[in-house]
Amino acid sequence: MTWLYDALLGPFIEFEFMRRAFAGLLALALAGAPIGVFLMLRRMSLAGDAIAHAILPGAAIGFLISGLSLFAMTIGGIVAGFVVALLSGLVSRVTQLKEDASLAAFYLVSLALGVTIVSLKGSNIDLLHVLFGNILALDDPTLLVIAFNATLTLIVLALIFRPLVIECVDPLFLRTVSRAGGPAHMIFLGLVVLNLVNGFHALGTLLAVGLMILPAGIARFWARDISAMLVIASASALLSGYAGLLLSFHTEVPAGPAIILASALFYLLSVLIGPVGGLLRRLFPGRHLEA
């Protein structure tokens, strides 16, 4: 039993940086995974990925001005994310270009611009930190920012939960009975940006959206009810984070990629054995597989 303790619990009990990393993952899982579920249900998964990259120029400008300053990079990322989300929506409404193509264009420009800005002042290590994060180096101020953003997300999500759910199921009905759809959508985009900035501090720009989209995909194979999806997505995100941290601790795999790879493994298992549309269920739809 000693080896089991050393393998599964010892790293978190003995090392403070592992506890900090897990605390950050807890906040990301509780707030980011539910946002990912609504991104998936609203067919905005790729939009979330585009906005994740769109925060890079703002964070890079903050880095250019103040170095690796938490406040400057957070504010810069939030502002850049909002600007790109609003501009892409505006372009799709005043031109014939669809919103996904508009987001793709802004995403490419933002990524190139952000990398260029960081390269002007920083080293390759700074660039890797911005692109891939360093969840094992979270300090108290960063944890407080992540926890505050996560708490704010859960409160606001509870307030706009009803119109979000209705719009996912029947947007036409929502438009006929209420005008809450438009404001709820804009608020939801704000929550997306906020949680992508959270993910940026822990996992970097390139992986920030991973703990939002992959757990949402996992939940889709295990539940049909939206409330159950939210719970499963958060639980799978936390489990993926725990497994990824252990993988990183016991091997030489970087923590961020290890967490996303663990989540990808759970996603593949869900594709195979998930009771809601999984491959095994489709191949053998008999009574012995019924819930």
Distance CA 92, CA 108 (A): 17
Above 60 in pLDDT, residue 288? no
- Taking only the tens place, the pLDDT of each residue in 140-156 is 999 999 999 999 999 99
Distance CA 9, CA 280 (A): 33
Average of per-residue pLDDT across 216-230:
94
Residue 205 has a pLDDT of 79
Distances 66 to 61, 115, 158, 187, 244 between C-alpha atoms, Å: 9, 16, 35, 29, 31
Buried residues in 109-137 as b, exposed as e (16+ CB within 10 A): ebbebbbebbeeebeeebbebbbbbbbbe
Spans of all domains in the chain: 2-289
Average of per-residue pLDDT across 264-276:
94
Lowest mean pLDDT among 34-43, 88-97, 165-174, 277-286: 88-97
Question: To 10 degrees, the CA torsion angle through 238, 223, 267, 199?
Answer: -40
Who contacts 188 (Cβ-Cβ below 8 Å, separation ≥6)? 35, 38, 160, 164
CATH number for the region 2-289 comes to: 1.10.3470.10
Above 60 in pLDDT, residue 108? yes
Above 70 in pLDDT, residue 92? no
Query: Which percentage of the chain shows pLDDT scores above 90?
Result: 37
Distance CA 186, CA 197 (A): 17
User: What six digits make up the tokens of 53?
Assistant: 């990259």
Q: Integer distance in angstroms from the first to the last C-alpha of the chain? A: 34
Q: Any idea which residue has 């010892």 for tokens?
A: 10
Residue 70 has a pLDDT of 79
- Taking only the tens place, the pLDDT of each residue in 240-250 is 999 999 999 99
Distance CA 61, CA 80 (A): 10
- Taking only the tens place, the pLDDT of each residue in 72-85 is 888 888 888 888 77
